[in-house]
Amino acid sequence: MFLFGLIASVADREKVLAEGVPRDCLQCLRRTPHLVVEERRQLSVFFLPVWRWNRRWYLVCGECGRAEPVSRQDAAALRRSE
């Protein structure tokens, strides 16, 4: 198991796809800048990502941090509209 940890590791990774997307936040009750974030579980071998799964996308409020799940298509559309 120790050797496996040296050679390969599994970790959840987050990647910001877009910043400053104006959206209405249900917690702040006003229009705030949001982040479009992709979260995924990743298997790395010798620190190189070889397999990604369990991908999910979120809109995260830049003011309060409230995360709202969105579909892959919505995340891509929001990224393009930045």
| DSSP line for 38-70 | EEEEEEEETTEEEEEEEEEEEEEETTT--EEEE
Based on CB atoms, which residue is closest to Zn ion, 25 or 36?
25
Based on CB atoms, which residue is closest to Zn ion, 10 or 28?
28
Cα separation, 54 vs 22, whole angstroms: 27
Based on CB atoms, which residue is closest to Zn ion, 30 or 80?
30
* Encoded tokens for 71: 């579909």
Closest distance of CB 18 from Zn ion, Å: 17
Closest distance of CB 58 from Zn ion, Å: 13
Closest distance of CB 52 from Zn ion, Å: 29
Report whether 25 contacts 64 (CB < 8 A). Answer: yes
Binding site for Zn ion (CB under 5 A): 25, 27-28, 61, 63-64, 66
